[in-house]
Chain A
Amino acid sequence: MTALSSPPVGRSRRSASGAGQADRRSWVGWGFMGPFMVVFALVFLAPIAYSIYLSFFRDKLVGGNSFVGLENYQRAMADPQFWQALGRVGLFLAVQVPIMLGIALLVALAIDSGRLYGRSFFRISIFLPYAVPAVVATLMWGFMYGTRFGLVGNINDAFGITLPNPLSPDLVLASIGNIVTWEFIGYNMLIFYSALRVIPHSLYEAAEIDGAGQLRVITSVKLPAIRGAMVIATIFSIIGSFQLFNEPSILQNLAPNAISTYFTPNLYTFSLSFAAQQHNYAATVAILMGLVTMVIAYAVQLRGMRKDV
């Protein structure tokens, strides 16, 4: 961490890339990078390693902790609860993520088009739900879904009808999808909007001279220019879907019959560790989910980049 005293030989080679081609190669950078990496090793690398270690062992009533090789993995492969949970988040991902990102993209394009009245009001208001904790978001929507004193109940009373209960087993996944969509439209909109903002205006003028209308500008200039942002937003959303935990776990209090202990893989991991005390098997399920997430995120990234060319 001491100051660099050697003279600045080797002029800085500036580069346009984000990686920033920097000065001479030296250990000085570690003085700045080191603190991050120390904590990173403690809260990321060590738990990953520990979890892999745990997944090869099993606590037995007799004989204590013993090495079982891939037995935990075989168990997961044949575990219907694991597959049900995985299928549920897969379905959630396939439906909720496109809806959420689609709306976020449309709103970002609308705000960026400059055709809205009061566009900064739109931008900040639609973003605000992101600042709301998942706990509060779920409690609010959970109360509103309620047939007793929620909005659904109010509407039923007012019109003398019976709307389908959003907290019933059939609908609860869609109701969770609505909460997650509500929470993250604004965040994704902001990612898209920030990317749209930095498109050089000369491109628009060139398109206009070529006779392109607004729609053509969107499809030929704006969307290709923000492809990177779209790939990033998609990857974050996929990771988020596979990690689904907070919303179903909090809704459990309001809809105990609709949400099982293995509703999502994370809920399953959580109940395995803390209700059933099966730490080794929980670690195995967590690792498998990490692998699935990485593979899919990587595939999306490859696909996104290939289209780019």
Chain B
Amino acid sequence: MSTPVTTAPRSKGPGYARLRTPRRPSTVTRPRRSVLLTVLTGLILVYSLLPLGWLLINATKTPGGLFDSFGLWFAEDFALWDNIVATFTYDGGVFARWLANTLLYVVVGAGGATFLAVLGGYALAIFDFPGKRAVFAVVIGAVAVPGTALAVPTFLMFSRMGLTNTPWAVIIPSLITPFGLYLMWVFAAQAIPRELLESARIDGAGEIRSFFRISLPLLVPGTVTVLLFSMVATWNNYFLPLIMIRDPDWFPLTLGLNAWNAQAATAGGEVVFHLVITGSLITILPLIAAFLLLQRYWQSGLAAGSVKE
């Protein structure tokens, strides 16, 4: 893969470059489009989209069609709507309950995580306070600790506190995002002109007022980025709820889908692969929509975050 991509520009390179004087439009800053490079990168694009296409196509099939038809093309029956209805009505509508649980975990967990990261990142960027270096060292050190290594002791602690099998067991650990804190810190350090805060202070504004009225609006792109990434982490979380939640009524979508899939392997369990596939499609659509709709914000937020790398 590496050879063709890197040599593609060179095939036009030397002779092409020599013909040009430095004052002409540069080949580096204003390059010509390349069909070859587009096609080669297109292979990765196909790889990335193929399973999503497979999911979309197979969500339209009946259980029989799943087995009889070719995986990358539609079966004779188009059963997408029937499958959606079946997904939401199967087992007393438990899928809707899982969807609502996931929304709860995302709104409270990811929303809270973003709020804490914005406050903390702002503090690190704007204020000098006792223990700031220690805070930095501890938080960055903690990033290296595998989250799953913490899961067992967290479970034992939470079970002593009586929190397991409740939504809190999923929400509380979701409230911390060290990556979000780092991103907000870097972002706030460059997005907020200190002079503006100084003048607000001279005008008698308190720190809280300056934060909400002056700083927060400037932090929007960074905040959207952190929000989206913690949303993904919470929406897609599997390991934490797997450990913490036993009661299917509190399952998020990820646990529920896996439970449906696992039914096929248990004796006497009903095989519902068509519901697993349709449910999977319904699970990923909201996040994909959020990323597409908010592209402009999160991409500028990430780019700003990388300035200080």
A residues at B contact (CB < 8 Å): 1-5, 7-8, 11-12, 14, 17-33, 35-37, 39-40, 42-48, 50-51, 54, 102-103, 106-107, 109-111, 113-118, 122, 124-137, 139-141, 143-144, 148-151, 154, 158, 182, 185-186, 190-191, 194-195, 197-198, 201, 204-205, 207-209, 211-215, 217-218, 226, 228-229, 232, 235, 239, 242-243, 245-246, 249-250, 253-254, 256, 266, 269-270, 273-274, 279, 282-283, 286-287, 289-290, 293-294, 297-298
Contacts and interface: CB of A to CB of B under 8 A. Distances in A.
17 contacts: A3-B207, A12-B197, A18-B190, A30-B123, A30-B130, A33-B129, A40-B142, A44-B142, A54-B156, A115-B33, A117-B38, A135-B236, A143-B277, A215-B7, A245-B239, A269-B149, A282-B152
A8 B201 contact: yes
Nearest to A219: B6
Interface string B277-307: 1001001100110111001000100110111
A25 B128 CA distance: 5
Contact of A198 (B5, B27, B30, B307): B307
B152 A134 contact: no
Contact of B70 (A35, A54, A154): A154
Contact of A46 (B6, B38, B148, B157): B157
A242 B153 CA distance: 18
Contacts of B10: 213-215
Contacts of B156: 50, 54, 279
B37 A115 contact: yes
Contact of A283 (B135, B152, B264): B152
Nearest to B116: A36
A7 to B, nearest CB: 8
A14 B194 contact: yes
A118 B102 CA distance: 35
B11 to A, nearest CB: 10
Interface stretch (B77-85, B86-94, B168-176): B168-176
A283 B155 CA distance: 11
B128 A26 contact: yes
B81 to A, nearest CB: 21
A12 B233 CA distance: 37
Contacts of B32: 115
B204 to A, nearest CB: 9
Contacts of B198: 8, 11-12
A209 B35 CA distance: 26
Contacts of A232: 309
A14 B1 CA distance: 46
A210 B44 CA distance: 33
Interface string B35-72: 10110110011011101101100100000001100111
Residue of B172, B206, B211, B243 with most partner-chain A CB within 10 A: B206
Interface string B2-23: 1001110110011001000010
Contact of A3 (B147, B157, B209): B209
Nearest to A116: B38
Contacts of A37: 120, 135
B54 A215 contact: no
B127 A115 contact: no
A208 B22 contact: yes
B1 A245 contact: no
Given A110-B37, A115-B37, A290-B149, A144 B51 contact: yes
Which of B71, B143, B287 is most buried by chain A, counting CB atoms within 10 A of its CB?
B71
A127 B144 contact: no
A32 B175 CA distance: 15
B238 A133 contact: yes
Contacts of B261: 139, 250, 253-254
A70 B52 CA distance: 49
A262 to B, nearest CB: 15
Given A50-B153, A115-B31, A190-B302, A25 B130 contact: yes
A128 B47 CA distance: 12
Given A125-B49, A232-B309, 10 more contacts: A12-B197, A35-B120, A107-B41, A116-B33, A129-B52, A132-B284, A214-B9, A217-B28, A270-B151, A286-B146
Contacts of B143: 239
Nearest to A150: B71
A40 B139 contact: yes
B186 interface: yes
Contact of A22 (B128, B264, B276): B128
A48 B176 CA distance: 15
A28 B207 contact: yes
Contacts of A131: 232, 284, 287-288, 290-291
Contacts of B138: 40, 45
B99 interface: no
Contact of B309 (A45, A124, A213, A229): A229
A213 B142 contact: no
B169 to A, nearest CB: 11
A190 B32 CA distance: 23
Contacts of B119: 32-33, 35-36
Contact of B291 (A8, A54, A124, A126): A124
A201 B66 CA distance: 52
Contact of B153 (A29, A54, A103, A209): A54
Given A37-B135, A135-B238, A194 B305 contact: yes
Contact of A29 (B126, B188, B276): B126
